[in-house]
Amino acid sequence: MALLKKGDKAPSFQLMDQNGTEVSLKNFKGKKLLVYFYPKADTSGCTKQACSVRDAMPDLKSVGVAAIGISPDKPEKQRKFDEKYSLGFPLLSDEDNSVAKGYGAWGEKKMYGKAYEGIIRSAFLIDEKGKVIEAWYKVSPADTVPNARRTLGDASPA
């Protein structure tokens, strides 16, 4: 599976969010978009990542950037995650991992010496025309927002 890189066209998607609303890449035409993939709602790393995006939303919005999180969780679980942490941005359900695969965010992982398939925590900054500005694979939950800020030209701390 090819990894996305700067200048690639972002794969389109159409998924349900935590409120049962269909969300597609087309909804963000004319805006920059931070898309991040996470393994499982309400786990420690995923919570840290989601809350850092939530906390950065005022700054991101001020420079025309929207954000969405994508995981294999069902919309109901995404809704509980959103409500528990007052995230306030779309969390999309990719139950069959088709969107994650298209973004190169699904693949082999290892834990305790065993290989398995799963979400590779990844983040993508997409421009107003749907092209990848930057892609980060195997990103740390703490680095998603700082990486985006650096790419956008804002080196302020997270």
Pick the closest to residue 1 from 96, 101, 71 (CA basis). 101
Residue from 10, 46, 99, 152 carrying the catalytic annotation: 46
- Helix/strand/coil for 94: coil
51 catalytic? Reply is no
Q: Do the beta carbons of residue 136 and residue 144 sit within 8 Å?
A: yes
What is the C-alpha to C-alpha distance for residues 15 and 73, in angstroms, rounded to an integer? 12
What is the C-alpha to C-alpha distance for residues 101 and 41, in angstroms, rounded to an integer? 19
User: To which residue do tokens 């994508």 refer?
Assistant: 70
Give the dihedral of Cα atoms 126, 13, 111, 84; nearest 10 deg: 90
Give ∠ CA 94-61-26 in degrees, rounded to 5.
Answer: 45
Tokens encoding 79: 């809704």
Q: What is the set of active-site residues?
A: 46
